[in-house]
């Protein structure tokens, strides 16, 4: 009997970084809903992480909160060690933690630049490296999954769309594209799949001001041909599918999920 789609991640163990708010919450919940047990990593928001764990366990799933700053090598390594000891292995890593520190380019301080690169890009390097080491050590366990491990990098439409006023953020996401693709190329022979999700505008705290009032939302919708702002659950469902064996032949790709934001909507009426 094939596994029902609702439990396509049964018996698998996942780690999601930045899972105390926004897209990370929805990803952690979606993986758990599909049967995976989940480490809910968070940076500062203990209450947020505990609430996610409670929601998952109340729904009959398994989850554990773990605090670690993804830009700190020792903390990332300790987190992986704990996760592996706790679960006995790891099958899925979603490198999601990210932030924005916006400023006009000429006013951007080195500290603002560095903070975003440290968390969004170096953090992904550190998380991917530990994931890769563990997946290579484990190898393929056919009773669990066709792949030895699955990695998702949370990118953005801004890995391809330039973004004035957000140069540090857009640069970090452009960097994630080559990080993901190069790592995917290197790890494919080890049966490790590495992909990115590139969300457009999704209703989360990171862009609250862009959708919180009807005026702001109407302005934002001019950039979204599909005419709705995305919900975190849109991303959660994609993540749960992308790490499942149904997506076993996909590696080295960014899946944009953006209501058409990357379709250059200005050209619908111009050019
Ligand atoms: C950013 C959001 C923004 C969206 C679309 C995301 O990566 O974090 O602030 O609304 O891209 O521009």
Nearest to 117 by CA among 69, 161, 74, 173: 173
pLDDT tens string 47-77 = 999 999 999 999 999 999 999 999 999 999 9
Residue 177: which of 194, 196, 162 has the closest Cα?
Answer: 196
Q: Is 226 a catalytic residue?
A: no
- Whose structure tokens read 């991303």? 235
pTM above 0.85, yes or no: yes
Q: How many residues are given for the chain? A: 271
Domains of the chain: 13-201+231-261 (3.40.50.720)
* pLDDT(5) > 90: no
Residue range 8-33: mean pLDDT, rounded: 98
Q: Catalytic: which of 169, 226, 249, 264?
A: 169
Please write the tens of the pLDDT for every residue from 134-170: 999 999 999 999 999 999 999 999 999 999 999 999 9
User: Which residues lie closer than 8 Å to 141 by C-beta, 6 or more apart?
Assistant: 89, 148
Distance of CA 263 to the CA centre of its chain: 22
Question: Is 108's pLDDT higher than 80?
Answer: yes
The overall average pLDDT reported for the chain is 97
Best probe residue, ligand 1, of 98, 157, 174, 203 (max atoms within 8 Å of C-beta): 157
Which residue is closest in CA terms to ligand 1's atom 9? 207
- Taking CA atoms only, the protein residue closest to ligand 1 atom 3 is 201
Looking at residue 2, its pLDDT comes to 59
151 phi and psi, to 5 degrees? -125, 135
Q: Is the CB of 157 under 6 A from ligand 1?
A: yes
- Distance CA(6)–CA(30), nearest Å, equals 10
User: Shortest CA distance to 52 belongs to which of 16, 79, 25?
Assistant: 25
What is the 54 CA–ligand 1 centroid distance (Å)? 28
DSSP state letters, the chain = -PPPGGGTTTT-EEEESSTTSHHHHHHHHHHHHTT-EEEEEESS-HHHHHHHHHHHHHTT--EEEEE--TT-HHHHHHHHHHHHHHHS---EEEE---------GGG--HHHHHHHHIIIIIHHHHHHHHHHHHHHHH---TTT-SSSEEEEEE--GGGTS--TT-HHHHHHHHHHHHHHHHHHHHHGGGTEEEEEEEE-SBSSGGGHHHHSSHHHHHHHHTT-TT-S-B-HHHHHHHHHHHTSGGGTT--S-EEEESTTGGG-GGGGS--
Q: For residue 1, what pLDDT is reported?
A: 54
Q: Is 200 in the pocket of ligand 1 (CB under 6 A)?
A: yes
Q: Are 168 and 101 in contact (CB under 8 A)?
A: yes
Distance 73 CA to ligand 1 centre (A): 27
pLDDT value of position 235? 98
Say how far apart CA 265 and CA 271 lie, in whole Å.
11
């Amino acid at each position: 009997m094939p596994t029902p789609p609702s439990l396509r991640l049964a018996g698998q163990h996942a780690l999601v970084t930045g899972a105390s708010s926004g897209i990370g919450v929805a990803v952690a919940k979606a993986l758990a809903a599909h049967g995976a047990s989940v480490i809910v990593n968070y940076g500062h928001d203990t209450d947020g992480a505990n609430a996610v764990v409670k929601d998952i366990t109340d729904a009959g799933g398994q989850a554990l909160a773990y605090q670690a700053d993804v830009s700190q090598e020792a903390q990332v390594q300790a987190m992986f060690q704990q996760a592996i000891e706790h679960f006995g292995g790891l099958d899925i890593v979603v490198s999601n933690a990210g932030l924005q520190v916006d400023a006009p380019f000429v006013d951007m301080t080195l500290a603002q630049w560095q903070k975003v690169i440290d968390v969004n890009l170096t953090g992904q390097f550190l998380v991917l490296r530990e994931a890769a080491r563990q997946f290579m050590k484990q190898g393929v366990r056919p009773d669990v999954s066709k792949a030895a491990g699955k990695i998702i990098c949370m990118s953005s439409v801004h890995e391809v769309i330039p973004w004035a006023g957000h140069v540090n953020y857009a640069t970090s996401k452009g960097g994630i594209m080559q990080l993901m693709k190069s790592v995917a190329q290197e790890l494919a022979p080890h049966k490790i799949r590495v992909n990115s999700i590139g969300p457009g505008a999704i209703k989360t705290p990171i862009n609250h001001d862009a959708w919180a009032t009807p005026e702001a939302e109407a302005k934002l919708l001019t950039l979204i041909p599909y005419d709705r702002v995305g919900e975190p659950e849109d991303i959660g469902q994609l993540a749960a599918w992308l790490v499942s064996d149904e997506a076993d032949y996909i590696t080295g790709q960014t899946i944009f999920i953006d209501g058409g934001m990357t379709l250059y909507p200005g050209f619908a009426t111009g050019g």
